Amino acid sequence: MQRKVVCKNLLVRYHDGMLVNIQQQAEQNLDYIRAAMARVEGASSVSGLGGMLMGLIALGACAAALPYQGNLQQQLWCWLMAAVPAVLLGSAASLRKAQRQSGQLQWDPLRRFFVCLLPNVAAAAVVTVVLWPDAQQARLPALWMLFYGCGVLAAGAYAVQPVRLMGLCFILTGVAALLLPDWSNLLLGFSFGGLHLIFGGWLYRKHGG
């Protein structure tokens, strides 16, 4: 049996013969939640090392595509072939980091991150299939950057600040690629290569690897 009383302006209750201060209990719960959120923000499950590996692969794709200047389709094939190992390595590195940090507090943000990112990646894949034989194929590099940037920016709600900033930079680079289609290969190298290296290094140094 429980009954509540007011004592010295504090709400308390009797529970199994013990006097419990509800306000104090609520404050302790709030402190725990704040500490948990601080741990999640300070140690993101997104892997900086994985981002840097993706950046290196992207720079390799950019270099491999350079000899095919003027042959857009061949350049795009170079990027598509590089995308598979880059995504696998980046995902594996993030999963390993979350496993190393352990705990539900690390797995949940990572799961939500991928739930936000993957629909945008899937949409980019569909657009690629549709536009590949079309005259609008030249728009694909810009669309890849825009879709990826929007996905990363949305997923950044469950990650630390560098991830959100990277998503915004991808979007801006995608807009630049729409305006400068002849520079698409170099802009792809700058975004998927340079931005992944810069922000991946930031995550690696400041947010636990």
Q: How do residues 91-125 score in pLDDT, each as one tens digit? A: 888 888 877 766 544 556 667 777 888 889 899 99
Name the band, by pLDDT with cuts 50, 70 and 90, for residue 10: very low
Q: Report the phi/psi class of residue 9: left, alpha or beta, with left for phi > 0 and alpha for psi in -120 to 50.
A: left
When pLDDT is averaged across residues 26-40 and rounded to a whole number, the result is 54
DSSP the chain: -EEEEEETTEEEEEETTEEEEHHHHHHHHHHHHHHHHHHHHHS-SS-HHHHHHHHHHHHHHHHHHGGGTT-HHHHHHHHHHHHHHHHHHHHHHHHHHHHHH-SHHHHHHHHHHHHHHHHHHHHHHHHHHHHTTSGGGGGHHHHHHHHHHHHHHHHGGGS-HHHHHHHHHHHHHHHHHHH-GGGHHHHHIIIIIIIHHHHHHHHHHHTT-
Looking at per-residue confidence, does 145 or 135 come out higher? 145
pLDDT band at residue 147 using 50, 70 and 90 as cut-offs: very high
> Which pLDDT value is given to residue 13?
52
**How much is the pLDDT for 117?**
84
Report the percent of the chain where pLDDT is more than 70: 73
At residue 96, the pLDDT reads 82
pLDDT, tens digit, 9 for 90 and up, residues 163-172: 889 999 999 9
User: What does the block give as tokens for 61?
Assistant: 């794709």
Residue whose tokens read 């499950």: 45
| pLDDT 10s digits, 48-90 | 898 999 999 999 999 999 999 888 889 999 999 999 999 889 8
pLDDT in tens, 61-70: 999 999 998 8
**pLDDT averaged over the chain?**
80
pTM for the whole structure: 0.75
User: What is the pLDDT confidence band of residue 4, given thresholds at 50, 70 and 90?
Assistant: very low
pLDDT of residue 38: 46
Per-residue pLDDT at 40: 47
* For residue 160, pLDDT beyond 50: yes
Q: Furthest-apart CA pair in the chain: how many Å?
A: 83
195 token code pair: 């931005």
* Confidence bin at 25 (pLDDT 50/70/90): low
